[in-house]
Structure 1
Amino acid sequence: MIRLPDESGALRAYEPRAEPADAVVRVEAGASARAGAAPASRTVFAAAHVVADRFKEGAGADGPAALDWDATLAFRRHLWSHGLCVAEAMDTAQRGMGLDWSVAAELTRRSAAEARAVGGRVACGVGTDQLPPGASDLASVRGAYEEQSEVVEKAGGQAIVMASRALAATARGPEDYLEVYGHLLRQAREPVILHWLGPMFDPALEGYWGSTDLDAATATFLRIIDGNPGKVDGVKVSLLDAGREVALRRRLPEGVRCYTGDDFNYPELIAGDGGDADGEGAFSGERAFSHALLGIFDPLAPLAADAVRLLDAGDRDGFRAALDPTVALSRHLFQAPTRFYKTGVVFLAWLAGHQDHFVMVGGMQSARTLPHLARAYELADTLGLFPDPGLAEARMRRLLDVQGVEA
């Protein structure tokens, strides 16, 4: 039994699990791993976190991020071992919140090389974060995107075109987005994934696509996709609005996937519906469901992969029964301020034994309260998410002890 604090400071008793869930298989850090069989019915990306090197400058301060490369790459092998694809150098890896472009470029190169070695799939974030903060000019934004795209293409990864703070600050309206994205897509060697990241994840992206009206923004987004046939593999939607995502995916051109980035509603979106809201027609193929590109699949990798394989077997109800219980943990980690969800993701990786410390780039381990972390531990343990529940409990006790809580 362990005593966990709530927001009032009161302690509640919790009895940890003795065994992990059946789907949880431990992959030892540093062990060689061949990519597991990928789910067949959905393409599933886990956006992966990075492990800070706590002994070097930059791990918890301003300046270039210092990473523990061995632990960072070992975690990617863990994801591939479960058959998941890796979304690299995204916001889960603290892009724009501690991970600068110089280190993100090195992360891209190393992760792509590791993917080739184990037969895994990797897609890498392309942005403009080498530009100084604030407004710029469209030529500079285009050039920054091109520079990062070249790094990803040379490394052998697929490009995920992320939303740009610089473009959000610079663009005068929808036409500027059409110009910049059209230019970038025309030059892309392979189809890319376009990422629509909502302001709940990054307040600097308010009004992206040239409007705060989401219907108008969606229209511009679709114009970009429609105007560049064959250049867009899919779109990653992170608006935490299931209805809006469903409406968007039904309007996508044939062959363009919708990758849900909705960490609140992912089970229903991945399962799909097969009909419109009024029951007046059926949506077949990929318009009837979403694929996945999710930060929550970083900690949920074993459970998520196991659940999606139930869809492969046609067991939609089994999929929902397996994945629906994970939503409480996800909604907890992604609660407002949503951008701080990375703290919970890294915390769970430490408890699960994927890294030997809880220090984050930029000192972001301090972004959530002790009661928030205690609740994350409880929810994750209830799911059987920890390969070694005893280790997770011991580490939770150590954290409480440092904070002056007698567990």
Structure 2
Amino acid sequence: MRRASVPTLLFATSACFFSLNAFSVRASFAAYALLAVLALFRAPTLFARQHRLPAIAAYWMLSVSAAFIVSAFGDFYANFYVKFVLIETYIALAFWLFASGVLSMRSLERTCEALIYVHAAFFLVQLGYYLISGHFIDFDSYVRESDSEALYATKALSDSLISIRALGLYSEPSFYAMTVVPAGVVLLLAKRRMAAATIVAFATALLSFSIAAIIVCALLFGVHFLAGRSSIRIKLVIVAVALAIAPAMYGVYDKRVNQSADYDALGSRTLVLRELSARDALADAFGNGLFWDERNNVGKTHLRGYQVRDSSFYVYLLFATGGVGVTAFFGALFMLFRRRGRRRLLLYLLPLLLFKFHALYGMLWLTLLMFVVVAGHAGHAERSPERRERPGTGRLSATGASCP
């Protein structure tokens, strides 16, 4: 295995901290600082290859302006908008690093592996220590600057060998899953094979017993079986694994969703639908905004923030930005992935958006960035079959394609 370059190490470390940005100011600062160090370290290369910079600057300006406009007429918490601007700055700078060749496809692969192995290590230590000692290590309390309840206990697992839902560095299992599963999918697409890190990502996500993870992983298994470029043997293994774990996964789903073992999960997640049916035409078109103060209820039915987000990114986006925002967001996605060689990637991306991502969650934007980088590489490979390069090499060209 080739040793990772300094830029790759800096970006991978930065991405690991960035995956915690929704919960920790310290982690956010570390992520931004490491990316800034990388940019300064390779500044001559960046400024020598500015051909992609106007498009990146236009993306940054459009995203922060559109977010401000769609949110300005509702409850507007300025601190959250500043956080959003910083997130978009991070993503824009990271894309410039890929477009200029400072970071390559191999850098992306190493970053995905780092995200998976770092988070999985804390997850497995937490789970293993509990099974051995009966004591739960709350890593999340060391990550956050404020107190938060660790949601590891569940009645749905009370009679099981694994009687808790491990969380890793987070306070909820779904947060863990929505970090490692996207990284695992991107690694699968980048390497064009089922790597060990991808298997770890899916296995630990399912071991978290997050309902969202179970649903998303099931959909992704189906997508890869039907559309994946894997051998028949690999697809048969996927079917065998799915059949083996299906009874256990459905048992957890049935207890938590159908029987409401812990709380009325389905009822809590459908409250936002009542809000969507009660609001006026203006809110239907432009939403309630992205940056409301979490200390206040929001909407006509006075929802809490988690009641908006928990129903998936799709419902959250409709609530926050209305029909106009949903059309603009998914229109932009389909434009990005419209070319041959890229369309298949949408089949893997769309199930991931069933997770409860939101505008201030860094992994949403990092996931989109990684998919765009893979799409550029796939588009180049499709257009230049006679120059197929080894997976993991190349940089993005001015059109978003990967160049040797």
* Shorter-normalised TM range: 0.3 to 0.5
Answer 1 or 2: which has greater strand percent.
1
TM-score, normalising length: structure 1: 0.32
TM-score, length-scaled by structure 2? 0.32
The structure carrying a bigger helix percent of its residues is 2
